Amino acid sequence: MHNLVLSVNAGSSSLKISLYTAQHDDNDEPVNLLLTSSISNISAPPAKFSFKSVNATKDAEPTKDAPVDSIHDHASAFEHFLDHLKREANIDREQITRICHRVVHGGDYHDPVIISDESYHHIEKLSDLAPLHNGAALSVIKACIANLPSSTSIAFFDTAFHRPMPPYIANYAINQTIARKRGLKKYGFHGLSYAFILRSVARFLNKPPDALNLIVLHLGSGASACAIRQGLSLDTSMGLTPLNGLPGATRAGAIDPSLIFHYTNKAGRITHDRKAAIQLHVTEAEDILNTKSGWKALTGTTDFGVITEKADLSNPNPDYDENPHRLAFDILVDRIMDYVGGYFLKLGGRVDALVFAGGIGERSEPLRARIGEQVKCLGFAGLDGSKNEAVDTVDGSVVDIGQGGSQERKILVCRTDEQLEMARECVLKKEFWDEPTP
């Protein structure tokens, strides 16, 4: 076996890894999955390690959510994965010829690029604009260069999907000379996920992607919404950085920008994390809003599953001082409504589907139920309760949870897979296979 493609997704709290064989001669699917691994809770230790070979009995026993004390960041998570791969899965590292890396902020890079000194430094320079992400991805890229020297690392960018956003949506109402000089505009993120979702929903609905209008909610540790018009990103809730828009595990989401100067008088001081693999130059305010806010600040947990359990959702008159979990839940529902309502209007009401994705979107049945109820006023038929409960029992990447079978506006769940999106594109792009590996 040779020509294996490893695909690595450094999220803010997780590292998700898949290994595929490249299938250049197969017209149907360019890749074939061999194994998946994920390390979650990286920012809320102990990290949890999972590993599953497609051919589990032959290769290795699956591992699920095993706590690992030695994992404290993305680089140590990746090293743990490599050790496991060597010990348990009987896979020779030399066979891995291409490694795809999800890089959240690409700035003005749109197409995927092979990692070179130049592209590495481009990504490094953007680290301050994605403080929870670019440095983490670079630490994994470094580990690949050290541990898998014969493979080619390729960066794929979350920002690329949002390139078609019209200027009146992507630009802020600030001085445009300064904005252009410094690249201060809305970039948008979770683009690899939105690309996967668009492709999967198009196949599910049997329509070409460029005929689809969607409102997609990618709700994970970082959460964002996206309006897709005729297969192109029209608007998205994250901005210059992944901080804006919906709140997340440790992120505040959109706030009045003046708030930071009232929150702390040290707002502008530059903070330094001496342990960080890449030195960041972010202010105290950015650090607070990125790492000490969101669900963690409101409730003490970053796990939205725990928040949902403790939210006492059947209580119609919650006491928010007594129950911060309910406050967190209701804040998320409220902010989602802002985007769903706004995007519905921007799409002129022509919406083929509302799609839930990401760790929360795929697993939180109560959150989907609440949103499903609220969007009825927009002409959605509402959720089918039993389909909503049974999502985990249905195979495939897309599940219809709406009432009836033929609604005009569907409500769907999509099991998003950024690793697969990158690996497919890697195999389909001839340029990544023409050059001999270094």
Shortest Cβ 174–ligand UVW spacing (Å): 23
Q: 12, 127, 159, 244: which one contacts ligand UVW (CB under 6 A)?
A: 12
Q: Which amino acid is at 237?
A: S
* Binding of residue 310 to ligand ADP (CB under 6 A): no
Q: Which one of 158, 235, 287, 352 is the catalytic residue?
A: 158
Per the annotation, does 84 bind a ligand? no
* Binding of residue 106 to ligand ADP (CB under 6 A): no
* Binding of residue 293 to ligand ADP (CB under 6 A): no
Using CB under 5 A, which of the segments 10-18, 91-99, 286-294, 404-412 binds Mg ion? Answer: 10-18
Provide the mask over 235-274, with x wherever binding to ligand ADP is found by CB under 6 A and - wherever it is not: --------------x-------------------------
Nearer to ligand ADP, 128 or 158 (CB): 158
From ligand ADP, Mg ion, ligand UVW, none, which one binds at residue 421 (CB under 5 to 8 Å depending on kind)? none
* Binding of residue 419 to ligand ADP (CB under 6 A): no
Query: CB-based burial of residue 208 (10 Å sphere; 0-12 exposed, 13-18 middle, 19+ buried)?
Result: exposed
* Binding of residue 220 to Mg ion (CB under 5 A): yes
Is-catalytic flag, 312?
Answer: no
* Binding of residue 51 to ligand ADP (CB under 6 A): no
Using CB under 6 A, which of the segments 180-188, 216-224, 260-268, 419-427 binds ligand ADP? Answer: 216-224
Q: 5, 7, 8, 11: which one contacts Mg ion (CB under 5 A)?
A: 11
Binding site for ligand UVW (CB under 6 A): 11-12, 104, 158, 189-190, 220-222, 242
Q: Which residues are annotated as a binding site?
A: 9, 16, 102, 218-222, 418
Supply the residues annotated as catalytic.
158
